[in-house]
Amino acid sequence: MHVLCPDEAHGRLVDIDLERLVQKGIRALILDLDNTLVKWHEAEIPPEVDQWVDEAKAKGFKLCIASNGFPERVRTIADRLGIPYVSGALKPRRTPFRKALMRMDADSHETAVVGDQIFTDVLGGKRLGLYTILTRPLSRKEFPTTRILRGLESWVLRRLIQEGYIADWR
């Protein structure tokens, strides 16, 4: 179960305490795109997300998007935020996370993964020994395959909350 347990869980991306991450020695963030930075299938960056990214940059964090999404869409949003990206990522495979580490010139022990899915973002990050942060999905809309995984995911989340691994955040 611990391979599915995020180190932190937050209702919103902007609830992540960047200062606390700095104190933990985290210097780089691998960010999921769909339903983490923007709503699924949308290109509009919420103003508070934009602000949070600026704040992270100002604090000296290196950032990189890693998304299973199509290159063009991922690039458009990454360019708008002014950060590098890995697209077509096939998370939870390790390759996209390794590529993101290379793009940022960051080590695994100083890097956190931020994303809305246990079976791609958290599991993938854990496989490389990264610090993992789960956020609530920005929208209920998503890929049909994701929706199937959500049933299993909500079971895992309930167990993690019941067993006291993460706080009740829903």
Sites of contact with Mg ion (CB under 5 A): 32, 34-35, 116
Closest CB 146 distance from Mg ion, rounded Å: 8
Cα Rg of the chain, angstroms? 15
Closest CB 40 distance from Mg ion, rounded Å: 7
Closest CB 168 distance from Mg ion, rounded Å: 21
3-state secondary structure of 134: strand
Residue of 135, 142, 129 whose CA lies nearest to 157: 135
| Closer residue to Mg ion, CB minimum distance, 116 or 153 | 116
Closest CB 149 distance from Mg ion, rounded Å: 11
User: Cis link prior to 92 (omega < 30° from 0)?
Assistant: yes
3-state secondary structure of 105: coil
Whole-number Å distance between alpha carbons of 149 and 18: 29
| Closer residue to Mg ion, CB minimum distance, 67 or 111 | 67
Whole-number Å distance between alpha carbons of 27 and 152: 32
| Closer residue to Mg ion, CB minimum distance, 143 or 165 | 143
| Closer residue to Mg ion, CB minimum distance, 35 or 87 | 35
